[in-house]
Amino acid sequence: MNDPRANQADNRLQFLRDLVAGNASIAGDVVLLRDNLWAIHGFIPVDGDVLMAEFDSYDQAITILDQVPWRTRERDKS
């Protein structure tokens, strides 16, 4: 039987990879939103800084972050 948590992590990883393949950039850190809720965040040109994926633990978030090819966000050059 498939582990639903593994499928959920795979879906979030693919979502983040798709964002990076577009114009998004992923920050290289994980943020604590509240007890037992961690997030990966980044920058999307149209929306600015956004939360991109949420996780139940820091370990889950950092494991996914380590698998995402991320780019450093470039500041607006205007």
10 Å CB burial of residue 39 (0-12, 13-18, 19+) is middle
pLDDT digits (tens, 9 = 90+) for 57-66: 999 999 999 8
20 compared with 5, residue with greater pLDDT: 20
pLDDT digits (tens, 9 = 90+) for 27-36: 888 999 999 9
> What does the alpha-carbon distance between residue 40 and residue 54 come to, in Å, rounded to a whole number?
7
pTM over 0.85: no
pLDDT score of 73 more than 90: no
Asked if 45 contacts 59 with a C-beta cutoff of 8 angstroms, the reply is no
Which amino acid, residue 64?
I
